[in-house]
Amino acid sequence: MSEKVDRRIRNIAPALVAVIVLIIALAGAGGFYWFRVYAPKPVQPVAVRNTAAALPASRQDEPLVITLVYPVGGSLMSGTAGVRRQPELQSQAREVVAALLADRRASQTAVLKDVRLRAFYVDPSGAAYIDLAPVKPQQHEINASAWEELLAVYAFVNTLALNFEEIEQVRILIDGKEVRTLAGHIDLSRAYTKRMDLVKQ
């Protein structure tokens, strides 16, 4: 290699190193800027909405207006009622079922007047379990026709479905156990979904 070429390389080397360092610095600064401004942010988990907490403190004590479905004159009717607000779905749904059983329009109808709410829960799949017990513990069978029993079952099912979109099906238990029937007619070994065709408009 000639001395002239060797001298040129030595003169260019510091400038070349400076250019490389500058490019690396600019690339690093650009990457940092992109990461801060354009990079996707981590997704925060969505909390289950607490309906009571979402309200101003002055409104948390106000009753929650719900829709009740109850048997009247051989068909189902709907009406409204007020219940206490609860912090989560399961306790709010339990409050609604208890309100149905306590409602004067429903409490005198066949089947509903002979049972009380023993327990209630909702599983992660959206199935609600209504655990009933006879009002009179010695009463083994509720006296009602097949149609009255059907209306009582759908009073529970439609009431829950109208108030809670998360509840997709309803099962009815007696004293914590699956039973074949309430009054000897309707099969309770399966889950039920809403039937609004039974509700008189």
Domain count, the chain: 2
Domain limits at 78? 51-198
Q: State pLDDT tens for residues 131-174.
A: 998 887 765 567 778 898 899 999 999 999 999 999 999 999 98
Rounded distance between C-alpha atoms, residue 130 and residue 111, angstroms: 14
Three-state DSSP class for 134?
strand
Q: Does 37 share its domain with 65? A: no
Q: Does 97 share its domain with 26? A: no
* Residue whose entry in the numeric block shows the structure tokens 């909390």: 47
- Which tokens in the block code for residue 181? 């029937």
pLDDT at 121: 94
**pLDDT at residue 38 greater than cutoff 60:** no
pLDDT at 110: 79
DSSP state at residue 167: -
Q: State pLDDT tens for residues 174-199.
A: 889 888 777 678 888 899 999 998 89
Q: pTM (2 decimals)?
A: 0.68
Other C-beta atoms lying within 10 Å of the C-beta of residue 188: 18
